[in-house]
Amino acid sequence: MKFNLKFLVIRFSSIGDIVLTTSLLKSIKAKYNNVEIHYLTLDKFSSILEMQPNIDRIIALNGDSGVTELMQLNRYIKSSEYDKVFDLHGSIRSRIVTLGLSKITTRVKKPRIPRFFLYQFHVNMFPKGYSSQVMYHQCIQDYDMVSTPDTSLIVSNAEKRFARSILKEVKIESNFIVMVPGAAWPQKQWQVKKYNNVVNELNRLTNKRIIMLGTENDEICKDISSVNDCIVDYSGKSDLRMAMAIISLADSVFGSDTGLLHISEALGKHVSMILGPTSTETGGGVSLKESINIETDIWCRPCSQNGKQKCYRTSQYCMELISTDMVTNSVMERA
């Protein structure tokens, strides 16, 4: 097929941010007639985008690449004669690979000043309805922000069949819930004992099994598994594509504000997301109307963009004030 235009979209990390950019891809395809989209990301995240219907080619960059490799990539991008480049990362790395391409590059405008005032003085300068999808869509000139589409990812039937065979080995045929307690920063993780209580309540109220997903570095998964043998602990035992396949078969998903929950929504699953130090004002949280943010309204949140900053209070109340019942009821409504 011959395309009229060829665009490059750049977003290197992380999982959740990459997933959220798939909303923009739909809009690019809708706005521009017969456009070919190439997507540049880090190799460790590139599998997320496999079979994404609005991506025609994935370009994977080694995460350890230095300036020499980035300049080589810059020369390659120049030789590829793109009609337009969307830099959705706005990092030093993305600026290096787009050197000399300012005429065709549109760079995402991060709301640094509103973020500063929100985190430091708790003054909200963000417009109503602001989201990460809206931020990315601002790269499209004259785009109607009211009609921002949902995110989307694809899992193949073959992947689903393999996932079913894996689940069958642990005697799960259907009707299960996925739990994702891990997060990039400890401040974004709910307490182990509360997750344990939710699992016990769900076991009492439903006949659905709980599958826990995460990475091998998620210590919280190990802690939960050590105190509750009702959970099927699949953390650290699957790659991203297998985790996606398992999620695609689940009844619902709950857990931390982390990449796998954004993946879940992009696969059409209803999510219960536990928000602590992060919040919706800056564009965080769930995307689907059927999903829900579980959060508390206290003056000190949000305190950072990604939850990295350690809490300066004696207790992390944004997490402690979220009760077992709040999470259990939310999951029951979506399961």
According to the CATH classification, is domain 5-147 in 3.40.50.2000? yes
Helix axes 259-266, 15-31, angle to 10 degrees: 30
The residue-averaged pLDDT of 92-119 equals 96
pLDDT category, 128, cuts 50, 70, 90? confident
pLDDT category, 1, cuts 50, 70, 90? low
Q: 313 or 18: whose pLDDT is higher?
A: 18
**CATH number at 157-334:** 3.40.50.2000
The residue-averaged pLDDT of 272-297 equals 93
pLDDT category, 2, cuts 50, 70, 90? confident
| Interatomic CA distance for residues 224 and 105, integer angstroms | 46
End-to-end CA distance of the chain: 42
In this prediction, residue 145 carries a pLDDT of 65
Summarize pLDDT for 22-59 with one digit per residue, the tens: 999 999 999 998 999 999 999 999 999 999 999 999 99
pTM: predicted TM-score of the whole model, two decimal places = 0.96
CA 304 to chain centre: 17
The residue-averaged pLDDT of 297-319 equals 91
For 331, phi then psi, to 5°, come to -65, -40
Summarize pLDDT for 138-178 with one digit per residue, the tens: 999 877 766 789 999 999 999 999 999 999 999 998 899 99
> 5 with 35: CB under 8 angstroms?
yes
Q: Where in the chain is the domain with CATH 3.40.50.2000?
A: 5-147, 157-334
Q: Omega of the bond prior to 302 within 30 degrees of 0, cis?
A: yes
Summarize pLDDT for 310-328 with one digit per residue, the tens: 998 999 999 999 999 999 9
In this prediction, residue 307 carries a pLDDT of 87
